[in-house]
Amino acid sequence: MDTTPASADELIVLGKITSVHGVRGEVKVYSFTDPIDNLLDYRRWTLRRGDEWRQAELVGGRLQGKVLVAKLRGVDDRDEARALADFDILVPLAQLPGLGEGEYYWHQLEGLRVIDQAGRLLGRVDHLLETGANDVLVVRACAGSLDDRERLLPYTEQCVLQVDLAAGEMQVDWDADF
């Protein structure tokens, strides 16, 4: 495995190696993609754990329950696989599939200012949560926001009226008292 990473600004985390699987060097992977086995479409992975970086090549994988089992080139026994536990799996942003009009990846929404219809700043999108019904924006207070409350807003057409990535904000239909 090569240890030279691509620029961190050009990469996105799509999963995490959680543990070993069996004795032949396979690893269990938690995938952040939807569907989860989409992570297997990317053959070259950049692995990161703290300040440690590695390059890896996926040679095979399969879905097993809610986790993936992956085989990486050069990892041939349980001890080598165990050494990869807790590494994040990153791929170049440029390799992500293109999106249609009005579609966004979660990482594009994180950090956006959230403005209500009265023009008040409710906060910034800290992260998103996946629920059974719809995704949820976790909006945390920031400098200049209306108050210091954390808000959970549904990521639906009724709530999110407009997303302007260039301006770094989204317009929402949300009662500030909620």
Ordered by start, the domain boundaries in the chain are 8-94, 106-172
Token pair 């399969």 is found at 62
pLDDT digits (tens, 9 = 90+) for 92-102: 999 999 889 98
- Cβ atoms of 92 and 54 within 8 Å: the answer is no
pLDDT digits (tens, 9 = 90+) for 87-129: 999 999 999 998 899 899 988 999 999 999 999 999 999 999 9
What tokens were used for 3?
């240890």
36 closest CA partner among 64, 6, 74: 64
- What's the rounded Cα separation, in Å, for the pair 81 and 26? 6
- Out of 3.30.2010.10, 3.30.450.20, 2.40.30.60, 1.10.8.50, the CATH code matching 8-94 is 2.40.30.60
3-state secondary structure of 127: strand
The structure's pTM equals: 0.78
- What's the rounded Cα separation, in Å, for the pair 23 and 1? 19
3-state secondary structure of 81: helix
Contacts of 79 (CB under 8 A, 6+ apart): none
CATH code of the domain made up of 106-172: 2.30.30.240
